[in-house]
């Protein structure tokens, strides 16, 4: 009832001549009650207007967040990078571990999330549930979508957006299929968590081709590499292998080793290049040789150990025409320094795969291990064939992707390790490559503390001798 109607009703009623005195009192009481009702309605309208205004502000904020996200590095739009130093990497996490990329000299490379870090992870994982359930799991039990099917996530802070997360879950629509996943994208724009996207992922038919360049100098390590690869390939039927061998010496032996894979029905190719070793040239030859359907490429080295979880991430983190994956490998220090310095025996190779600040470091300067579709590699025009010998070709490829419209996913990966091995730097290399080789050699040897202890080794011995003399 409008206020105008009420006033008209009051006038017409009060002008009636047959009303008795007590009738007027009743009418006045009714009208006062109605006025109070209208006052309540008016207050409600004001509150609704305020609420709509607040809702509008929230919608505007959400629109701005979406706009900034679309222009961010994760979505592949907006700002383009000019070099590799402008791009920031993600940190990887599970419910029980955070794999740090900027720990500093005194901190850990992996830690257990506690306090506010634990709270942040739990909030983000919980925030992913309603987004997926509401849109894709209507009518199903919410209890099914628990942290038991959460695999892992990555996170980084972008100054113009806030924290951006990608979470991976098992896909409940296919509970028995271990190769179907869900990727949920979330943002915490210095405010409560808000869902940004959802993408089901099926890696069932994603063929992965591992390409390995090799020469006689590293042939002794090839057998153990091949044994590990065979164990993975027997479980993963969508795994293929290409060996690109340089030079004549040892080529027959390498080819014979490769035949063991074929005997186990594993797709394996042998390419023989009778020329000086060049990693970029070898990888390019391996790519060009593959003439079948489009395939995910993993560029590898013989000194690298990886597991099935890494191969899964290799498939999950690439997207044809959009995304490439550059994992940060955990590089192991010289075991003679790590173990014998503390009086321990050097353990077997598989027992050395421990992530800690004393055993190794995240190889944030290395871009050699990478996963991408063959069509994307060709679209970016592959390797620079002018680069020969050690290094640099991988950095140039990385720069191409960074400067392009591709999303470059860079994150530490706990499933891939670089084994320590003696490194000799060829004095005939160009000066910039020679310096890069020496820098890599120094960083690979031991931790900052361990190198310091080696430098002061003589002082320590003198101190120990003085202590023994004082006792006697």
pLDDT band at 48 (very low <50, low <70, confident <90, very high): low
- Cα–Cα distance for residue pair 292/311, rounded to 1 Å: 20
Q: Which helix or strand (DSSP H or E) is residue 165 part of?
A: strand 162-170
pLDDT surpassing 80 at residue 386: no
Split at pLDDT 50, 70, 90, the class of 161 is: confident
Mean pLDDT estimate for the chain: 81
Query: In this predicted model, which residue has the larger pLDDT, 466 or 230?
Result: 230
Cα radius of gyration rounded to whole Å, the chain: 32
Q: Minimal CA–CA distance to 240: which of 281, 269, 264?
A: 269
Q: What is the pLDDT of residue 317?
A: 96
Per-residue confidence band for 12, with pLDDT thresholds at 50, 70 and 90: very low
This prediction has a pTM of 0.72
Q: With pLDDT > 90 as the criterion, what percentage of the chain qualifies?
A: 40
For the cut 80, the answer to whether the pLDDT of residue 446 exceeds it is yes
pLDDT given at position 18 = 40
Q: How confident is the model at residue 19 (pLDDT cuts 50, 70, 90)?
A: very low
* Nearest-angstrom CA–CA distance, 361 and 450: 13
Distance of CA 215 to the CA centre of its chain: 32
pLDDT score at 21: 46
Round to whole Å and give the CA distance between 255 and 244: 10
Query: Per-residue pLDDT for 45 more than 50?
Result: yes
**pLDDT above 70 for 58:** no
Q: Identify which of 154-158, 160-164, 330-334, 441-445 has the greatest average pLDDT.
A: 330-334
Does the structure show a pLDDT above 80 at 469? no
Between CA 276 and CA 6 the distance in angstroms is: 99
Q: In this predicted model, what pLDDT tens digit does every residue of 198-221 receive, in sequence order? A: 888 999 889 999 999 999 999 999
Question: Does residue 247 surpass a pLDDT of 80?
Answer: yes
Question: Residue 266 — very low, low, confident or very high, per pLDDT cuts 50/70/90?
Answer: very high
**Banded model confidence at residue 462, pLDDT cuts 50, 70, 90:** confident
More confident residue, 313 or 110: 313
Query: pLDDT value at position 65?
Result: 62
- pLDDT attached to residue 397: 94
Residue 163 has pLDDT above 70, yes or no: yes
pLDDT for position 251: 95
Q: Is the separation of the CB atoms in 97 and 418 below 8 Å? A: no
Cβ count within 10 A of residue 389: 19
Q: Residue 9 — very low, low, confident or very high, per pLDDT cuts 50/70/90?
A: very low
- Residue 324 Cα distances to 245, 385, 456, angstroms: 26, 21, 44
Question: What local confidence, expressed as pLDDT, does residue 28 receive?
Answer: 60
User: pLDDT higher for 415 or 18?
Assistant: 415
pLDDT, tens only, 26-35: 656 666 666 6
Average pLDDT over residues 158-187: 85
């Amino acid at each position: 009832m409008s206020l105008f109607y009420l006033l008209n009703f009051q006038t017409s009623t009060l002008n009636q001549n047959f009303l008795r005195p007590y009738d007027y009192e009743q009418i006045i009481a009714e009208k006062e009650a109605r006025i109070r009702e209208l006052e309540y309605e008016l207050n409600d309208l004001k509150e609704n207007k305020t609420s709509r205004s607040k809702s509008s502000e929230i919608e505007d904020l959400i629109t701005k967040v979406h706009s900034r996200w679309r222009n961010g590095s994760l979505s592949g739009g907006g700002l383009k990078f000019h070099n590799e130093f402008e791009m920031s990497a993600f940190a990887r996490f599970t419910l029980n571990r955070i794999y740090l990329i900027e720990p500093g000299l005194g901190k850990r490379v992996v830690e257990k999330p506690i306090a506010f870090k634990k709270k942040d992870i739990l909030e983000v994982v919980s925030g992913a549930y309603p987004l997926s359930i509401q849109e894709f799991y209507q009518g199903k039990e919410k209890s099914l979508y628990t942290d038991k099917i959460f695999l892992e996530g990555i996170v980084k802070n972008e100054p113009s957006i806030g924290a951006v997360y990608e979470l991976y879950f098992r896909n409940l629509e296919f509970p028995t299929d271990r190769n179907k996943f869900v990727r949920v994208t979330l943002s915490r724009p210095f405010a409560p968590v808000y869902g940004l996207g959802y993408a089901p992922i099926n890696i069932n038919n994603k063929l992965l081709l591992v390409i390995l360049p090799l020469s006689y100098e590293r042939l002794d390590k090839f057998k153990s590499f091949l044994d590990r690869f065979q164990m993975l390939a027997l479980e993963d039927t969508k795994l293929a292998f290409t060996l690109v061998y340089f030079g004549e010496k040892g080529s027959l032996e390498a080819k014979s080793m490769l035949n063991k894979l074929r005997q186990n029905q594993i797709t394996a190719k042998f390419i023989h290049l009778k020329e000086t070793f060049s990693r970029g040239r070898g990888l390019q030859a391996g790519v060009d040789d593959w003439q079948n359907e489009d395939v995910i490429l993993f560029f590898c080295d013989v000194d690298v150990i990886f597991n099935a979880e890494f191969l899964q991430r290799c498939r999950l983190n690439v997207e044809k025409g959009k995304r490439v994956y550059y994992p940060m490998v955990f590089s192991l220090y010289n075991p003679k320094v790590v173990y014998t310095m503390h009086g321990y025996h050097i353990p077997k190779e598989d027992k050395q795969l421990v992530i800690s600040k004393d055993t190794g470091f995240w190889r944030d300067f290395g871009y050699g291990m990478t996963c991408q579709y063959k069509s994307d590699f060709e679209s970016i025009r592959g390797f620079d064939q002018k680069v020969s010998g050690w290094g640099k070709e991988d950095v140039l490829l990385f720069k191409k992707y960074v400067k392009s419209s591709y999303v470059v996913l860079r994150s530490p990966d706990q499933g891939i390790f670089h084994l320590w091995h003696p490194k000799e730097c060829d004095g005939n290399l160009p000066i910039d490559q020679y310096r890069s080789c020496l820098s890599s050699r120094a960083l690979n040897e031991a931790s900052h503390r361990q190198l310091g202890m080696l430098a002061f080794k003589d002082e320590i011995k003198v101190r120990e001798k003085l202590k023994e003399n004082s006792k006697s």
